[in-house]
Amino acid sequence: MKSFLKAICIGAILVALYIPLTVKLQEQRKLFLDTDFIAYTLPSTLIAPLSLEFKGVTADFLLFKFMTFIGGRIQELPNFTDLHWDYLEDTLDIITDLDPYYFDAYQYSQIFLAWDAGRPESANRLLEKAMENVPDNYRFPYYIGFNYYYFIKDNQKASEYFMKASKLPDSPYWLASWAARLSVFSFEHRAGIMFLEDMISQTRDERIKKYFQKRLTALQILSYLENKVDAYKEQYGKMPASLDDLVSSGIIKEIPEDPYGGKFILLSNGRVYTTSKMLEQQ
């Protein structure tokens, strides 16, 4: 009987200690996730031997960790520091070392390193790895070519990779035409629109789809307005002084709203620009 009462007392003490400790642990866990969650990543030379025959499982875990971090902070991407991006780049590099055929990891390198981190060269380095391991997938040379064209402004390299992509199975018919016309024809918004449509169709994460759908909408508006500027020039034989002239002339009913909260303005060269730079306004 005494032993039973003693066990009950010990149990009650443990429960009493467990509740505040659990609350404290949850607080510390949240603090850790908010601050040091991305502070380091072990290199693949260490992770691979430790994973034994479970390299694929480890790669899945690291990608889940990557997406958990990104998913919780997707509106904060413009404020990420080099520390954040170094961690994310290293993680994607390690994942594709562990599983060289991991399509999602290569795609996320394009989505986040090229578009958000401003690191198209880093994205291309990982995509070159993809081309080596998955040589029949046209998207990898296509992504590299797009980065050279859209971000790096190297039309010659862009044309080279577009041509490589055009020769692979299931590639879009227009890739060869893009490669041939690249040096004489600018289709920046059109390229971005078609690229984002393809990326959205391949992305399974709904948060990322929503994030890139907003960017796609902004590009579509920019393309629309520039087409209307061309229509004004054709009709009146001169450039409009501002986008307001498109409204007063009846070419458009109103200037669309920037989904990022900025303002669309007309530049002297006929291009339309947004003051938001397609970044969330604080």
Q: What is the DSSP string of 200-229?
A: HHH---HHHHHHHHHHHHHHHHHHHHHHHH
Handedness of CA 193, 71, 123, 62 (dihedral sign): negative
Query: 0.75 cut: is pTM over it?
Result: no
CA nearest to 112, candidates 123, 126, 101: 123
Domain ranges of the chain: 42-214
pLDDT in the model for residue 123: 97
What is the block-wise mean pLDDT of the chain (282 residues), using blocks of 10 residues? 56 51 47 47 60 76 83 76 89 93 94 93 97 96 93 87 89 71 58 78 81 86 93 94 95 94 90 83 59
145 neighbors 161 (Cβ within 8 angstroms)? yes
Torsion of CA 111, 116, 117, 118, to 10 degrees: 100
pLDDT in the model for residue 46: 58
Residues 6+ apart with CB under 8 A from 277: 260, 262
CA nearest to 148, candidates 175, 190, 182: 182
pLDDT in the model for residue 5: 58
What fold is seen in the domain 42-214? 1.25.40
Residue 183 CB coordination number (10 Å): 10
pLDDT in the model for residue 130: 97
pLDDT in the model for residue 29: 43
């992509």: which residue's tokens?
165
pLDDT in the model for residue 140: 96
pLDDT in the model for residue 102: 94
Residue 171 token pair: 């590639």
pLDDT in the model for residue 246: 95
